[in-house]
Amino acid sequence: MKITVNVWRQQDAESKGSMVPYVLDEVSEHMSFLEMLDVLNEQLTLEGNDPVAFDSDCREGICGTCGVVINGIPHGPEVTTTCQLHMRTFKDGDVIDIEPWRAGSFPVIKDLVVDRGAFDRIIQAGGYISAPTGSAVEANNIPVPKADADHAFEAATCISCGACVAACPNGSAMLFTAAKITHLGLLPQGQPERDSRVLGMVEQHDAEGFGGCTNIGECTAACPKGIPLDTISRLNRDLLGALSRQTIG
């Protein structure tokens, strides 16, 4: 099929960017979205032009490296990662807009590539359980009710892609932050640092310039891993508890 793509081209962080149209004459419906971009890049290279920079690595929907805004929707029209979207979702003659994540805290590096370093820094601020190597007790000495373990696992499946931020009108990273709070907060091992974790992570979240959550829910709708909105309620409960204990303490 014939596809026209309008791609955001931006030489580097300082330059101004713009949308540039390209036409692809032979797109197979079996191609993945990123394979379609590979084909475009081969074409551009042979013409002596600079290929489009975009991030991807696993191309299996698990590493969270890929992610662009497709026709205004982070990761495109299906609830999945960009790398798992296939061209059969589109039809002959379609025009597709492709842009990078738009968020102040994710500056554009080049074309469709953005800097998501803020996510790592939120984790550094408390998104872990302190368990130095060698200090662990026998694993089955810590039984975890299956329901808690399953819920913790679901929250832990966040791939840190950033679609939630790109989808949020406030540019908030609350869903990402809450997924980690939920994962670790549901486990007995995570209890000792529960207060310091939520305080540290939320403070870092705000310091990075991410916006506040006003319960719009666009994040969950765009999340390829279906991280639920109630993780944010859990974060808020933990935060209130921690703040009150901090005041009392």
Partner 1 sequence: MTSTPNATGDVTPDAPTGASSETETEYHRLGEDIRDTAAPSGPIERRWDDRMFGARLVNPANRRKIKVLVVGTGLAGASAAATLGEAGYQVETFCYQDSPRRAHSIAAQGGINAAKNYRNDGDSIYRLFYDTVKGGDFRARESNVYRLAQVSVNIIDQCVAQGVPFAREYGGLLDNRSFGGVQVSRTFYARGQTGQQLLIGAYQALERQIAAGTVTMNTRHEMLELILVPDAEGVERARGIVVRDMVTGEIESHTADAVVLATGGYGNVFFLSTNAMGSNTTATWRAHKKGAYFANPCYTQIHPTCIPVSGDYQSKLTLMSESLRNDGRIWVPKNKEDAEKDPRDIAEDDRDYYLERIYPSFGNLVPRDIASRAAKYQCDDGKGVGPGGLGVYLDFADAIERLGRPAVEAKYGNLFDMYARITGEDPYERPMRIYPAVHYVMGGLWVDYDLQTNITGLFCAGEANFSDHGANRLGASALMQGLADGYFVLPNTLADYLAGSPFEKIADDHPAVLEARQAVEERLQKMLAINGTRTVDSIHKELGQIMWEYCGMERSEEGLTKAIGLIRELQNEFWTNVKVTGTNEELNQTLERAGRVADFLELGELMCIDALNRRESCGGHFRAESQTEDGEALRHDDEFAYVSAWEHPAEVGGKPILHKEPLEYEYVEMKARSYK
Which residues of this protein are in contact with ligand SF4, per CB under 6 A? 158-164, 175-176, 179, 223-225, 227
Q: By CB under 8 A, is residue 115 in contact with partner 1?
A: yes
Q: How many residues bind partner 1 (CB under 8 A)?
A: 78
Q: By CB under 8 A, is residue 51 in contact with partner 1?
A: yes
Handedness of CA 231, 228, 175, 126 (dihedral sign): positive
Residues 13-42 that bind partner 1 (CB under 8 A): 28-32, 34-36, 38-39, 42
Q: By CB under 8 A, is residue 187 in contact with partner 1?
A: yes
Distance CA 127, CA 183 (A): 10
Which residue's CB is nearer to ligand FES, number 66 or number 201?
A: 66
Distance CA 29, CA 228 (A): 31
Which residue's CB is nearer to ligand FES, number 84 or number 231?
A: 84
Residue 96 Cβ, how far from ligand FES at the closest point, in Å?
17
* Torsion angle in degrees (nearest 10) through CA of 104, 234, 123, 136: -170
Q: Please give the distance of CA 234 from its chain centroid, rounded to a whole number.
A: 20
Q: Which does 179 bind (CB under 5 to 8 A by kind): ligand FES, ligand SF4, partner 1, none?
A: ligand SF4
Please give the full DSSP string across 99-131, using - where no structure is assigned: E----TTS-EEETTEE--HHHHHHHHTT-S---
Q: Which does 136 bind (CB under 5 to 8 A by kind): ligand SF4, partner 1, ligand FES, none?
A: partner 1
Q: Which does 81 bind (CB under 5 to 8 A by kind): ligand SF4, ligand FES, partner 1, none?
A: ligand FES
Contact 127, 184 (CB under 8 A): yes
